[in-house]
Structure 1
Amino acid sequence: MPITPFTRQQLLPQEETLEVMKQRGELFIGLPKETSFQERRICLTPDAVSSLVAHGHRVLMESGAGQTASYSDKEYSDAGAEITHDPKKVFGCPIILKVEPPTVKEIEMMNPETLLISALQLKTQKAEYFHALQSKKITALAFEFIKDIDGSYPAVKSLSEIAGTASVLIAAELMISQKLGKGLLFGNITGVPPTEVVIIGAGTAAEFAAKTAIGLGASVKVFDNSINKLRRLQNNLNQRIFTSTIQEKALLKSLMRCDVAIGAMRGKDRSPVIVTETMVERMKRGAVVIDISIDTGGCFETSEITTHEKPTFVKHNVTHYCVPNIPSRYSKTASLSISNIISPFLLQMAEDGGIESAMRCDAGLKNGVYMYHGRLTNRGVGEWFDIDSTDINLIMF
């Protein structure tokens, strides 16, 4: 009897397996007012709301939520949003969209199994926040964890662009301030030596700070310990500028001559302290320090957290600007930027049939999930707060 690789059952005609079409979902999004100190941004602009409503989705918005970003209730109402004065109604929506993570009291107003999309801001959180999410079995996504097709983090990159550009504009303001400044125009005027700027770091914020400073005619020097980052920055600027690895002697020499020093260096946990207090003491009288990385500790030893209301202080005759949330100063620009990132994800989520299907279709979106039906799925967050975490691929429905 001949040996066949197939059984009799396998040789019989089989039923054909057809792909099941994805069912389009309808979103009901709650857009509450931001209550966190100094937060002026909003996640969706009226144009983004109009686009969502045109696709058959609902947006319920708390009255005045867009006011600090220069958007009126009427603009949102004309775009199709429903306006309410009751925050409980907004937090009762199946999807909550916020810039800042909600407080524990706000989480208490949410219904079980709600989908929360917001920033996480790991460094400012406490374990109670995650326990509150777990008690409501909430699925939560963090802006800063969502990946794009190229593997980058679009929200982080976009806000870093704003912070980098803003750092130079803020420095220009401080240099002509009557109380603090030296009366120097930021730039390069014929017959006048150009403003000298030192940038520590070579990431996205540093790149946009360099672009803005060069555009104003300043002389720019960039320091970073990564040759690859320095090379990429040079290529993106399309011109050769002074770049160097961080060597104390060369850095000190540049700091002593510069008018503006910008700190944009990041670390895994805390930003490394690159500029010591002794170095700051030897800087020019009236020089300006902008520490962009203050939200992770700052890379100047003399840096102390300041606020938008009182943004500066003087130490060793050097003006320090150390506000941790620089993009919020430019609330409308930052809101447009966040909205442009979030609204396409929302529309695609609906096309995919909801968050469950969307996570299967989009690995970048799935990377943004740190809480899935009340179970922590981000290992880094779990280790930070000593909370048990589970791989999301093992528990997805």
Structure 2
Amino acid sequence: LMFGNISGVPPIEVVIVGAGTVGEFAARSALGLGANVKVFDNSLTKLRNIQTNLKQTIYTSTLQPKNLLKSLKRCDVAIGAVRGSDRSPIVVSSTMVEHMKKGSVIIDVSIDMGGCFETSELTTHDKPTREKFGVIHYGVPNIPARYPRTSSVSISNIFTPYLLKIGEDGGLENSLRFDRGLRNGLYMYHGILTNKSVGEWFDLKYSDINFLIF
């Protein structure tokens, strides 16, 4: 099936689970290609924001299993973009996937945090898809790496201001004291694990960074 709003041809149906940044840009891309888009999330604030940012009214719903299953049965593409504080919550069960159309596609962008589709498995760029219940699953954890030049420039644009600010602050130690966002992104500090999720996943001792920085 081809994306594209062609006269006389029914548009592709896309279901997006998660109305955060990934969900918003997935919706923006799908709408730009002429697809019908439905977005699910339990945060009414995120659902309102995505409609405001897209500057148009689209189908939105909280994660009610009955409504979600109905939409999944009809969709051609399902995109999972749900994050959690630890592992991504499993929103779409194996039974729901069984009811999807044969040949439909699941793209689980949350796979790097475990995935929000129960049937998702890690795949690679060398072999990006697997098939379960007749549904094609795409579970590559680092999708932008498919376009290394673009992703390198993009991530440089994000990191460069941080690096310049660290220099202006007099080094990393000072930046960590005053920049809460940078501090929350820290995994190791002087050889001490500071990330709770990694510690719990691998049963390693970890310490709160706020107790280590004075």
Q: Secondary structure at the match of 2:146?
A: helix
Q: Does residue 1:331 correspond to 2:148, yes or no?
A: yes
Answer with 375-384 or 199-208: which moved more. 375-384
| Kept in 2: contact 1:266–1:293 (CA 8 A) | yes
1:299 counterpart letter in structure 2: C
How far residue 207 of structure 1 moved from its aligned partner, in angstroms, is 0.6
| Kept in 1: contact 2:76–2:105 (CA 8 A) | yes
- The one of 83, 95, 99 equivalent to 1:278 is 95
Q: Does residue 1:387 correspond to 2:205, yes or no?
A: yes
Query: TM-score of the superposition, structure 2-length normalised?
Result: 0.89
1:374 counterpart letter in structure 2: G
Give, in whole Å, the separation in 1 of the partners of 2:212 and 2:142.
36
Give, in whole Å, the separation in 2 of the partners of 1:269 and 1:363.
19
Q: How many residues align?
A: 213
The 1:287–1:368 alpha-carbon spacing in structure 2 relative to 1, beyond 3 Å, is closer
How far residue 340 of structure 1 moved from its aligned partner, in angstroms, is 1.1
Give, in whole Å, the separation in 2 of the partners of 1:308 and 1:223.
28
2:207 counterpart letter in structure 1: S
Q: Does residue 1:229 correspond to 2:46, yes or no?
A: yes
How far residue 337 of structure 1 moved from its aligned partner, in angstroms, is 1.6
Identity %: 66
How far residue 351 of structure 1 moved from its aligned partner, in angstroms, is 2.5
How far residue 253 of structure 1 moved from its aligned partner, in angstroms, is 1.4
Please give the residue correspondences for 1:167-186 in structure 2 after superposition, counting only pairs within 5 Å. Answer: 184-186=1-3
Please give the residue correspondences for 1:99-138 in structure 2 after superposition, counting only pairs within 5 Å. Answer: none
| Kept in 2: contact 1:255–1:283 (CA 8 A) | yes
Q: How big is each residue's C-alpha offset from its partner over 1:127-177, in whole Å with a ceiling of 9 and x where there is no partner?
A: xxxxxxxxxxxxxxxxxxxxxxxxxxxxxxxxxxxxxxxxxxxxxxxxxxx
Please give the residue correspondences for 1:335-354 in structure 2 after superposition, counting only pairs within 5 Å. Answer: 335-354=152-171
Q: Secondary structure at the match of 2:163?
A: helix
The 1:254–1:334 alpha-carbon spacing in structure 2 relative to 1, beyond 3 Å, is same
How far residue 189 of structure 1 moved from its aligned partner, in angstroms, is 0.5
| Kept in 2: contact 1:377–1:392 (CA 8 A) | no
| Kept in 2: contact 1:202–1:233 (CA 8 A) | yes
| Kept in 2: contact 1:382–1:389 (CA 8 A) | no
Q: Does residue 1:310 correspond to 2:127, yes or no?
A: yes
**1:207 match:** 24
Q: Relative contact order (alpha carbons < 8 A, sep ≥ 6): 1 or 2 greater?
A: 1
Give, in whole Å, the separation in 2 of the partners of 1:277 and 1:394.
43
Q: Which runs of 5+ in 1 are unaligned?
A: 1-183
The 1:276–1:393 alpha-carbon spacing in structure 2 relative to 1, beyond 3 Å, is closer
How far residue 277 of structure 1 moved from its aligned partner, in angstroms, is 2.2
The 1:242–1:387 alpha-carbon spacing in structure 2 relative to 1, beyond 3 Å, is same
Give, in whole Å, the separation in 1 of the partners of 2:84 and 2:182.
24
The 1:295–1:369 alpha-carbon spacing in structure 2 relative to 1, beyond 3 Å, is closer
1:240 counterpart letter in structure 2: T
Q: Does residue 1:373 correspond to 2:190, yes or no?
A: yes
Q: Which runs of 5+ in 2 are unaligned?
A: none
**1:296 match:** 113
Q: Root-mean-square deviation (CA), in Å?
A: 2.1
Give, in whole Å, the separation in 2 of the partners of 1:225 and 1:214.
22
Q: How big is each residue's C-alpha offset from its partner over 1:340-393, in whole Å with a ceiling of 9 and x where there is no partner?
A: 122222222222322233334534334434433334445565555441525446
The 1:272–1:373 alpha-carbon spacing in structure 2 relative to 1, beyond 3 Å, is closer
Give, in whole Å, the separation in 1 of the partners of 2:9 and 2:53.
28
1:306 counterpart letter in structure 2: T
Answer with 203-212 or 275-284: which moved more. 275-284
Q: How big is each residue's C-alpha offset from its partner over 1:232-288, in whole Å with a ceiling of 9 and x where there is no partner?
A: 111111110001111222112111111111111122222222222222222222111
Q: Secondary structure at the match of 2:147?
A: helix
Give, in whole Å, the separation in 1 of the partners of 2:183 and 2:173.
9
Give, in whole Å, the separation in 1 of the partners of 2:68 and 2:41.
10
The 1:351–1:391 alpha-carbon spacing in structure 2 relative to 1, beyond 3 Å, is closer
The 1:319–1:380 alpha-carbon spacing in structure 2 relative to 1, beyond 3 Å, is closer
Q: How big is each residue's C-alpha offset from its partner over 1:156-210, in whole Å with a ceiling of 9 and x where there is no partner?
A: xxxxxxxxxxxxxxxxxxxxxxxxxxxx111210111111101111111111000
User: Which has the higher Rg, Structure 1 or Structure 2?
Assistant: 1
